[in-house]
């Protein structure tokens, strides 16, 4: 947390002033409680819409808060605490607020959204999954409706019609992927009547640090059917014969794998080629070899993916859960499928793509809420220009965070962990165990079973089922083992969801949270701890760490890792183990920030180009611009066509022609830039810095894209046959993709700083 802390010390004064302004507005609102309380249901809408909230009088703000409090009381059955209204005020002012788990952010966010919507804005409340989007829309909807606002939500199962209806509402609940995919899918539309029109007005992001920081560089991808660049069976077979150390090396942090000299020779022999690094092979065989190395030696079954129902399912690293509908870039997906011997799924061509960060960047205004915002303050400011406000908790937090227990190796850590869970469980106190990945959950589950401890495991299969399980995690005698994001957003009440045994659990000390290892950032540790001690409940947390944990091994040199330990338990006495983990975590946090900044430098330009392209596309789609342009290219032909087929048909045909070429151009551009990014360090050798070089190429290509699309459209216009309904592109080998699908690439290996790419760079060092 070091960086963020220092940062906030510098910024502290502003935050203090803003917080006190929010506080006084909330205090003033109580003066209008009688006014709001006396209002009939059908008077709320008019009263609320008559208020001037932006730059308006303090009185209007106070009246708004009083109305919202009354509306929540009547329709949600919850009377907002002052701190919840303060949080709403800060979000309304455009901040990300930090409010602890269980403080009632759902209600705060809905009130902030109401403020924006009453001023004429459309607000997207962005949640982390479909289950929560659905839950929150149903939960908060009645309050928003009482205030005269319309509310909708989108989930994966929403139809096109339902989506269009949802996006026309004042407040829309949806997950980042669902709304993002809708934005991408708009690029497939060729008839304006098919648009579903998600707006880009206000985004209010729940679990803001997860979405805006942890997932920022995850690309949302729209793909269509064509063939991919997967390694051939021959390449895969050759790579599988390689031996670690001798033929290839894996970085300690498992980000890169690269061939040694010996490895390259072995591949050359196997494939019977003279020189793997010859220009003939660099863009083809070598790419395939690197993809295969990645698939075979970096991606681990049950850690990075699982094999289920004959399919590869990715495990989202930051959430430690199965990521439905996600796949790796084509070649890699096919390589892993081949490695595991499952049917190779169809490869696709990327038609459009957008990182989460670029997606959020499209909104005019962004604000958000999370239990851990301050620690992400530096990134939120640097990448989104967002401020952070910390809101006091309603009741003081009395959770006891115990000191870490550090062990010399993974084995002694696990032994101690299991002992500890069993011992706490024996008292009846509920235990929530947070693991890093599915494999770890399963190993722990096996050990707990062996010890006769009963437990529930959440491996992120079904958000709704998980929510129901985690809701009971605070009941007497429950042990719940869960990966990072599983069940997030669901309240853990002491004594079970009905709080039947609340008193008993309070006497037992509340919920006890156990971390099986420190995360790569302290912020994630704190998210886990925050599951205990909600709303002033008793609770405790403790983390176990070992000197073999990823975070330690990848960040610290061997000689900096303490080795002296108790010979029987393996425990490292004193503070040295703990200090080492703290240090490793700070190093890792710094590295991650750098990777983020660096990768963003590459993606930002493409995001800007995408905006320009989307604008151009929108004009072609919604106006007669294409008709005008092609008419000005050949007025005579145009007039003849209009005479024969009618104006409507020609307008439609021209639009389809120009959209087709523009879309092709963009897909090609993305492909080119992906290739460039993979080889940029080669091209840039001895010249400019790679980023400048990348930018130069991207700008050149993009300029050509626009001109080429026009030229190609003109020649299509000259040659293609028009009918009374327009043109038949398919008959002219200009088919649109027959099937399209969307996915998110977690842990994108193609990203700069990522695996295949750097693996390839290393090969050339």
Smallest distance, Mg ion to C-beta of residue 83, A = 15
488 binds ligand ADP (CB under 6 A): no
The CA distances from residue 725 to 229, 232, 618, 644, 662, in Å, are 38, 44, 22, 11, 21
CA atoms within 13 A on the CB side of 266: 19
Smallest distance, ligand ADP to C-beta of residue 482, A = 16
Residue among 79 and 622 whose Cβ is closer to ligand ADP:
79
Residue among 348 and 474 whose Cβ is closer to ligand ADP:
474
d(CA 181, CA 191): 18
d(CA 602, CA 697): 12
491 binds ligand ADP (CB under 6 A): yes
Q: What are phi and psi of 531, to 5 degrees?
A: -70, -20
**Other CB atoms within 10 Å distance of the CB of residue 305:** 23
**Pairing of the two strands 431-435 and 456-458:** unpaired
Which does residue 81 bind out of ligand ADP, Mg ion, none, counting CB within 5 to 8 angstroms by kind? Answer: ligand ADP
Residue among 340 and 491 whose Cβ is closer to ligand ADP:
491
Which does residue 107 bind out of Mg ion, ligand ADP, none, counting CB within 5 to 8 angstroms by kind? Answer: ligand ADP
Residue among 77 and 574 whose Cβ is closer to ligand ADP:
77
102 binds ligand ADP (CB under 6 A): yes
Residue among 468 and 619 whose Cβ is closer to ligand ADP:
468
Selected binder of ligand ADP within 63, 69, 90, 105 (CB under 6 A)? 105
State the Cα angle at 514 between 510 and 516, rounded to 5°. 175
The residue whose two tokens read 């240090």 is 583
**Site map for Mg ion, 650-689, x if CB under 5 A?**
----------------------------------------
Question: What residues from 296 to 355 belong to the interface with Mg ion (CB under 5 A)?
Answer: none
Smallest distance, ligand ADP to C-beta of residue 290, A = 43
141 binds Mg ion (CB under 5 A): no
- Closest residue to ligand ADP, judged by C-beta, is 104
Question: What residues from 465 to 524 belong to the interface with Mg ion (CB under 5 A)?
Answer: 489
Binding residue count for ligand ADP, defined by CB under 6 A: 14
Smallest distance, ligand ADP to C-beta of residue 463, A = 14
104 binds ligand ADP (CB under 6 A): yes
Distance of CA 118 to the CA centre of its chain: 29
d(CA 147, CA 571): 58
From 4-12, 13-21, 26-34, 101-109, span contacting ligand ADP (CB under 6 A):
101-109
148 close to 49: Cβ distance less than 8 angstroms: yes
The β-bridge partners of 748 are: none
The CA distances from residue 638 to 90, 216, 304, 653, in Å, are 57, 47, 56, 11
- Closest residue to Mg ion, judged by C-beta, is 489
From 69-77, 99-107, 171-179, 397-405, span contacting Mg ion (CB under 5 A):
99-107
Question: What residues from 262 to 291 belong to the interface with ligand ADP (CB under 6 A)?
Answer: none
The CA distances from residue 201 to 48, 170, 187, 478, 554, in Å, are 20, 10, 19, 44, 41
Q: How many residues comprise the chain?
A: 765
Q: What are phi and psi of 238, to 5 degrees?
A: -65, -45
Selected binder of ligand ADP within 89, 107, 556, 561 (CB under 6 A)? 107
Smallest distance, ligand ADP to C-beta of residue 660, A = 46
521 binds ligand ADP (CB under 6 A): no
360 binds ligand ADP (CB under 6 A): no
Which does residue 755 bind out of ligand ADP, Mg ion, none, counting CB within 5 to 8 angstroms by kind? Answer: none
Binding residue count for Mg ion, defined by CB under 5 A: 2
Smallest distance, ligand ADP to C-beta of residue 535, A = 7
Residue among 105, 100, 162 nearest 128 (CA): 105
**Pairing of the two strands 219-225 and 348-355:** antiparallel
Smallest distance, Mg ion to C-beta of residue 105, A = 5
What DSSP letter does each residue of 424-490 carry, written as one string?
Answer: HHHTT--EEEEESSHHHHHHHHHHHHHTT---EEE-SS-HHHHHHHHTTTTSTT-EEEEETTTTTT-
Selected binder of ligand ADP within 101, 122, 516, 758 (CB under 6 A)? 101
Smallest distance, ligand ADP to C-beta of residue 514, A = 20
Question: What residues from 70 to 89 belong to the interface with ligand ADP (CB under 6 A)?
Answer: 78-81, 84
Smallest distance, Mg ion to C-beta of residue 202, A = 19
Contacts of 101 (CB under 8 A, 6+ apart): 371, 527, 530, 531, 534
CA atoms within 13 A on the CB side of 527: 30
Residue among 87 and 753 whose Cβ is closer to ligand ADP:
87
Tokens of 481: 């083992």
Residue among 176 and 709 whose Cβ is closer to Mg ion:
176
From 102-110, 356-364, 617-625, 742-750, span contacting Mg ion (CB under 5 A):
102-110
Contacts of 396 (CB under 8 A, 6+ apart): 536
From 97-105, 211-219, 693-701, 715-723, span contacting ligand ADP (CB under 6 A):
97-105
Task: Give exposure, 179-216, as e/b (b: 16+ Cβ within 10 Å).
Answer: bbbbbbbbbbbbeeeebbebbeebbbbbbbbbbbbbbb
Residue among 413 and 531 whose Cβ is closer to Mg ion:
531
**Binding site residues, Mg ion, CB under 5 A:** 105, 489
Residues binding ligand ADP (CB under 6 A):
78-81, 84, 99, 101-107, 491
């Amino acid at each position: 947390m070091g960086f963020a802390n220092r940062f906030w010390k510098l910024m502290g004064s502003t935050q203090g002033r803003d917080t006190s302004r929010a506080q006084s507005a909330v205090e003033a609102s109580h003066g209008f409680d009688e006014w709001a309380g006396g209002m009939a249901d059908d008077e709320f809408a008019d009263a609320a819409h008559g208020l001037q909230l932006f730059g308006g009088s303090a009185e209007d703000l106070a009246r708004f808060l009083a109305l919202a409090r009354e509306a929540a009381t009547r329709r949600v059955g919850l009377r907002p605490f002052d701190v919840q209204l303060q949080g709403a005020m800060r979000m309304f002012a455009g901040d990300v607020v930090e409010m602890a788990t269980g403080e009632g952010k759902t209600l705060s966010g809905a009130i902030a959204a109401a403020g924006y919507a009453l001023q004429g804005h459309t607000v997207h409340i962005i949640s982390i999954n479909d289950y929560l989007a659905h839950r929150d829309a149903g939960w908060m909807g009645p309050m928003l409706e009482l205030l005269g606002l319309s509310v909708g939500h989108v989930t994966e199962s929403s139809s096109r019609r339902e989506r269009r209806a949802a996006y026309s509402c004042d407040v829309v609940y949806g997950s980042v992927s669902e709304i993002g995919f809708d934005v991408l899918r708009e690029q497939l539309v060729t008839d304006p009547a098919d648009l579903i029109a998600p707006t880009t007005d206000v985004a209010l992001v729940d679990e803001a640090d997860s979405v805006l920081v942890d997932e920022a560089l995850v690309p949302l991808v729209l793909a269509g059917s064509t063939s991919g660049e997967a390694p051939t069976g021959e390449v895969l077979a050759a790579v599988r014969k390689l031996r670690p150390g001798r033929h290839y090396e894996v970085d300690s942090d498992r980000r890169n794998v690269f061939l040694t000299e010996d490895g390259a020779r072995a591949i050359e022999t196997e494939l019977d080629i003279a020189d793997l690094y010859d220009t003939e092979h660099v863009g083809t065989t070598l790419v395939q070899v690197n993809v295969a190395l990645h698939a075979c030696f970096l991606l681990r079954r049950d850690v990075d993916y699982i094999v289920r129902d004959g399919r590869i399912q990715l495990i989202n690293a930051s959430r430690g859960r199965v990521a439905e509908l996600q796949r790796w870039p084509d070649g890699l997906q096919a390589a892993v499928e081949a490695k595991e011997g499952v049917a190779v799924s169809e490869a696709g061509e990327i038609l459009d793509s957008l990182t989460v960060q670029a997606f959020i960047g499209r909104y005019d205004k962004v604000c958000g809420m999370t239990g851990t915002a301050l620690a992400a303050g530096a990134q939120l400011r640097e990448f989104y220009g967002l401020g952070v406000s910390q809101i006091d908790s309603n009741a003081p937090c009395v959770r006891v965070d115990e000191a870490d227990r550090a062990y010399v190796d993974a084995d002694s850590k696990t032994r101690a962990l299991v002992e500890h869970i069993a011992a706490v469980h024996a008292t009846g106190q509920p235990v929530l165990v947070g693991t890093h990945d599915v494999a770890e959950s399963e190993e722990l589950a096996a050990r707990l079973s062996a010890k006769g401890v009963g437990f529930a495991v959440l491996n992120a299969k079904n958000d709704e089922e998980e929510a129901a399980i985690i809701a009971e995690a605070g009941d007497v005698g429950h042990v719940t083992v869960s990966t990072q994001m599983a069940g997030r957003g669901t309240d853990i009440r002491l004594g079970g969801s009905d709080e039947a045994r609340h008193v008993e659990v309070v006497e037992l000390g509340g919920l006890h949270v156990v971390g099986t290892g420190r995360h790569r950032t302290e912020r994630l540790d704190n998210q886990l701890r925050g599951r205990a001690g909600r709303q002033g409940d008793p609770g405790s947390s403790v983390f176990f760490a070992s000197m073999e944990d990823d975070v330690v091994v990848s960040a610290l040199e061997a000689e900096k890792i303490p080795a002296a330990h108790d010979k029987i338990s393996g425990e490292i006495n004193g503070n040295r183990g703990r200090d080492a983990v703290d240090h490793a975590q700070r190093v890792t946090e710094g590295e991650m920030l750098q990777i983020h900044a660096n990768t963003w430098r590459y993606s930002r330009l493409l995001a800007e180009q995408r905006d320009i392209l989307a604008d151009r596309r929108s004009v072609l789609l919604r106006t007669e611009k294409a008709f005008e342009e092609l008419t000005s290219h050949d007025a005579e032909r145009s007039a003849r066509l209009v005479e024969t087929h009618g104006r409507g048909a020609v307008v439609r045909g021209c639009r389809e022609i120009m959209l087709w070429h523009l879309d092709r151009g963009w897909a090609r551009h993305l492909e080119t830039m992906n290739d460039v990014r993979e080889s940029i360090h080669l091209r840039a050798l001895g010249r400019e810095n790679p980023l400048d070089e990348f930018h130069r190429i991207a700008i050149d290509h993009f300029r050509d894209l626009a001109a080429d699309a026009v030229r190609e459209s003109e020649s299509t216009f000259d040659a293609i046959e028009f009918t009374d309904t327009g043109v038949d592109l398919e008959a002219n080998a200009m088919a649109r993709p027959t099937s399209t699908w969307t996915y998110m690439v977690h842990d994108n290996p193609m990203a700069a700083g990522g695996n295949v790419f750097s693996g390839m760079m290393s090969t050339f060092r």
